[in-house]
Amino acid sequence: MVDDSRNPDTHSRTLVNRLVSDNQQMRGQSIALHSYQSKLTAALSSAFPALAGHLPPVPDRPVWTESRSNANGTS
């Protein structure tokens, strides 16, 4: 940490790099889960047509794209 007589810039750079890495990992997990949800919903709908009306709708895009665009002030 900074209190250990280390350069604060080095600490900040390490922290930012770790956050970027964690963010990329979470983005990948979000995309994978969205893909799985889409495929599972399609498979359940085709295998059990009576169940199709009770399945939740799958969003067009993964959730991370919506929160990212709102965070930038764009829609």
Model confidence at 74, pLDDT cuts 50, 70, 90, reads low
Sign of CA dihedral 10, 15, 21, 27: negative
Confidence check: pLDDT of 1 > 60: no
Residue 54 has pLDDT above 70, yes or no: yes
| pTM of the shown model | 0.65
Which pLDDT band, with edges at 50, 70 and 90, does 75 fall under? very low
Q: Is the pLDDT assigned to residue 8 strictly greater than 60?
A: yes
